[in-house]
Structure 1
Amino acid sequence: MFKKKALITDIDNTLFDWFTMWHRSFSVMIENVSKISEVSTEELYRAAKLLHQKYGTAEYAFLLEELDPLLKIYGNKATLLEKIDPAIKAFRSERKKTMRLYPHVLETLKQIKDRGMLALAFSESKAYYSSYRIAQLGLDGIIDIVYCPKDHDLPEDQSSTQLLKVTQRHVLDGAFKKPSREILLKILADSKLNPEEVLYVGDSKSKDIKMAIDAGVDYVWFEYGSTHLNARKEDYDLLKKVTHWSDDEVEAERVLAADGGKMEIPASRIIHEYSQILNFLE
């Protein structure tokens, strides 16, 4: 085995449980908005999906102030935000409770840095949200560079560049989805790394692991992070209701996931705790 010079880690459902955070905070928010406004949750879901598709993300931070059913009731942004403030506070409270690193993530990344290795992150979440997560999870400066897609349009008083003080952020131009062999190889080239000098860790077989294999990069599959949808069909149904994907994209994602489910990952390449990454760096 070649000496590893860098770890590339996925973020969502690899460093922390993104799905639980999203589902609980979004659900609480919409339920509170529905009670305050007397607009049904189903109508709010339909309006949310339109905005999510407009901005290309299912976690648009400025969603409520642009929802048509609410603007029709309250007339303007200022009044709207004042009336639904309890829902916003409920969202933030639930997000704070559920945005937690998986066990041993911080200690493992610190040990990787102590070995003189680079710690890189690669996410499909847009720059604003990826940056926010790294900052809130206490990883600013622990992660050396985060790679992520460019932002949607942000309000003038908001900027994702304000969120990180030490971690560098490399925004990838154009729309992309994992698995992208070309982008992974670009990440390696930026740091003058050869594929055999890198270890990649992610939760998705069909995206992270396939991408690493296609690029000739050593990998470990963080199976624990892939279990977030097990026995949670109803929770996942909510994500499908408000997804930013088109029907064609949903079908493509289903096919990709089905193909990934057929992938045979050697038992020696499966980890259940993040700290087990260190076993592959000896």
Structure 2
Amino acid sequence: MPSQLLVCDLDNTLYDWVDYFVPAFYAMVDRATEILGCDKADLLVDLRKVHQKHHDTEHPFALLETEIVSNHFPDFSLEQKAAHLDSAFHSFNSVRKTHLQLYDGVLDTLNALQSENVTLVAHTEGKLYSVLGRLRQLNILDRFNSIYCRERAQGGIKTEAESEEWLKKFPEVNIKELPPEDRKPNAQVLLDICDLEGFSPSDAVYVGDSIGKDIYMAQNAGVFSAWAKYGNNVNSEKYRALVAVSHWTTEDIDRESAVKAAATGTVPDLVLENSFAEILPCLKRRNSA
């Protein structure tokens, strides 16, 4: 029987989210600018407004909700707009395929954890469609017993029936959508995950790249915390490009500041300096204890 639970953050823990998303997003913007004949800076401002409206920088098909697109295609349905901008979305997907890669050693580590009968669970603040799309492309969906993510984005070109049909493509994993209030670093969310997976907090390990969200949450839940320090090595130029279109409002920034302040002095139980693989010796020691 599995003796340990590993709850794993995804973005910047298993892969570099900024490194893949920013080039893909801006490739889409460049192609859309050509199609629409608009100013790129204006389109970026429009996209940020849509992201802020949905509190999500990865909002699906955000381009279709921009004022520039609405003015360019005033009488078109969302499906018609999507058809005219298809090559822009293709640009995003094409660049994503080349840039979205697991960190070195992640796949071998996940396989080793499975062989050790460790129950693997993903916990992320990414929304449903984006999370499943990434994990499917990375071919690691079946490594997780469950996936806990933010609830699916509203709107877009999928009807509710189409959304449910799309989800049937993922029968191999238990998916739990969390409401907006169940956000990191709410320790109760992690306690609920442990309970739902059938483990006590003392038999769980949480690994993530954020001290203020992941590590602080784990420690408040009485869960062993492993900080993916390597996940903080983010390209500064790409990060600035991300900030320019991010969903962060003044309220979001204030919340982040409050989270950081609350987590001041938090020290992880384990630091993963260079790779996800550094979690293995720790789990083996805990299993033999």
- If the length of structure 1 is used for normalisation, what is the TM-score? 0.89
Structure-2 separation of matches of 1:162 and 1:24: 30
1:278 to 274, 277, 280: 280
CA deviation after TM superposition for structure 1 residue 14, in Å: 0.7
Task: Give 1:241's match in structure 2, choosing from 240, 244, 261.
Answer: 244
Please list, as runs of the form range in 1=range in 2, the aligned pairs for 1:35-184 lying within 5 A after superposition: 35-75=34-74, 76=76, 77=78, 80-154=81-155, 155-156=158-159, 157-159=162-164, 161-184=167-190
Contact 2:128 2:151 in 1 (8 A): yes
Q: Contact 1:200–1:217 at 8 Å: present in 2 too?
A: yes
Shift of 1:98: 1.1
Say whether the 8 Å CA contact 2:230–2:272 is kept in structure 1: no
- Secondary structure of 1:201's counterpart equals strand
Instruction: Identify which range, 151-160 or 46-55, moves more after superposition.
Output: 151-160
CA offset at residue 85 of structure 1?
2.8
Identity of matched residues, %: 27
Q: 1:188 to 1:78 in 2, by over 3 A?
A: closer
SS of corresponding position for 1:124:
strand
The alpha-carbon deviation at position 269 of structure 1 amounts to 2.9
Question: C-alpha separation between the residues in 2 aligned to 1:163 and 1:127?
Answer: 13
Give the unaligned 5+ runs of structure 2: 285-289
Letter in 2 for 1:195: P
Q: Compared with structure 1, are the counterparts of its residues 34 and 260 closer, same or farther at alpha carbon in structure 2 (3 Å cutoff)?
A: farther
* Further displaced range: 217-226 or 34-43: 34-43
The 4+ residue runs of structure 1 with deviation greater than 6 A are none
Cα deviation, 1:61-80, whole Å, max 9, x if unaligned, reads 21222222022113324553
Question: What is the CA–CA distance in structure 2 between the aligned matches of 1:85 and 1:124, rounded to whole Å?
Answer: 28
Contact 1:17/1:100, CA 8 A, preserved across alignment? yes
Per-residue deviation at 1:265? 4.3
Relative to 1, partners in 2 of residues 1:167 and 1:79: Cα closer, same or farther, differing over 3 Å?
Answer: closer
- CA–CA distance in structure 2, aligned partners of residues 163 and 55 of structure 1: 25
How many Å separate the matches in 2 of 1:144 and 1:274?
Answer: 19
Q: Give 5+ residue unaligned stretches, structure 1.
A: none
How far apart in 2 are the matches of 1:21 and 1:248?
27
Does the 8 Å CA contact 2:5/2:203 hold for their aligned counterparts?
A: yes
- Give the conservation status (yes or no) of the 8 Å contact 1:149–1:174: yes
Question: Which residue matches 2:287?
Answer: none
Q: Distance in 2 between matches of 1:78 and 1:134?
A: 26
Q: How far is the alpha carbon of 1:138 from its aligned partner?
A: 0.8
CA change 1:90–1:174 in 2 (3 A) is closer
Say yes or no: does 1:253 pair with 2:256: yes
CA distance 1:198–1:271, change in 2 (3 Å)? farther
Contact kept in structure 2, 1:105 and 1:275, CA below 8 Å: yes
Paired residues of 1:224 and 1:271 also in contact (CA < 8 A): yes
Cα RMSD (Å): 2.2
CA contact (8 A) 1:149 1:175 kept: no
Q: Give the aligned residue type for 1:22.
A: F
Describe the superposition over 1:93-124 as per-residue Cα deviations: whole angstroms up to 9, x where unpaired. Answer: 11111111111111111111111121001000
| Structure 1 residue 36, shift from structure 2 partner | 2.5
Equivalent position SS for 1:123: strand
Give runs of aligned pairs for residues 222-237 of structure 1, distance below 5 A.
222-229=228-235, 232=236, 234-237=237-240
